[in-house]
Chains A and B, each alone.
Chain A
């Protein structure tokens, strides 16, 4: 069965600094990978996705992620963090066997300091 590990429960970054959130997955085939963001009291908003092709994918709000098959990783990055980026970030792997399900990591809470 597939699984997703987000090793960092909390991360604090200064505003304007760069950000990298880690995600490792376990799945037997080429995965479909996603990053979602959840602001307090809100639902899950899709930041970006990887299905195939270019391993560096661009998303909304200036985020990008790189798929590294050799490391089973799909880390999320942003070159300069804004206070409004404070939220919880979830990495997910999709299993498409005719019907899709998402398996989520436990999430990383991003705190942005002034």
Chain B
């Protein structure tokens, strides 16, 4: 069964540095998402992306964050000038259309020191 894959599985970064989290969505999917889960808290929506532009974003997704689909297969989340509170598990998801279930990757655990 096709899967969403995320790399790396764990990223450790110094506070203030930039990180890029990578995702390869399911190949025929058109809608892409990022969520995050701070330890012990609920999974929170960050952003959705369709047709090479952001379609919706949450309050969390401020100017520190950006997303990009640099080629036909990758979908990235960039976090500039990371803060301690950015430490979380970041999940990528994709769906074939806006009313189909989202399929999630295994996540990237981001640790900011």
Residues of A in contact with B (beta carbons under 8 Å apart): 32, 34, 36, 41-46, 49, 51, 90, 92, 94, 96, 98-107
Contact = CB atoms under 8 A, between A and B. Distances in A.
A99 B55 contact: yes
Contacts of B35: 102
Contacts of A44: 43, 91, 93, 104
Contacts of B86: none
B67 to A, nearest CB: 14
B68 interface: no
B91 A46 contact: no
Given A51-B99, A100-B98, A43 B106 contact: yes
Contacts of A90: 42-43
Contact size range, B? 20 to 34
Contact of B44 (A41, A104, A107): A104
A34 B102 CA distance: 10
A90 B41 CA distance: 11
A46 B103 contact: yes
Given A36-B104, A43-B91, A44-B91, A102 B45 contact: yes
B48 interface: yes
Contacts of A46: 101-104
B53 to A, nearest CB: 11
Which residue, of A51, A99, A100, A103, has the highest number of chain B Cβ atoms within 10 A?
A: A100
B56 A32 contact: no
A49 B6 CA distance: 24
A96 B105 contact: no
Contacts of A98: 55, 98
A101 B48 contact: yes
Nearest to B105: A43
B50 interface: yes
Given A42-B106, A100-B102, 10 more contacts: A36-B104, A42-B107, A43-B4, A46-B103, A98-B55, A99-B31, A99-B98, A100-B99, A102-B33, A103-B45
B95 interface: yes
Contacts of B93: 44
A43 B45 contact: no
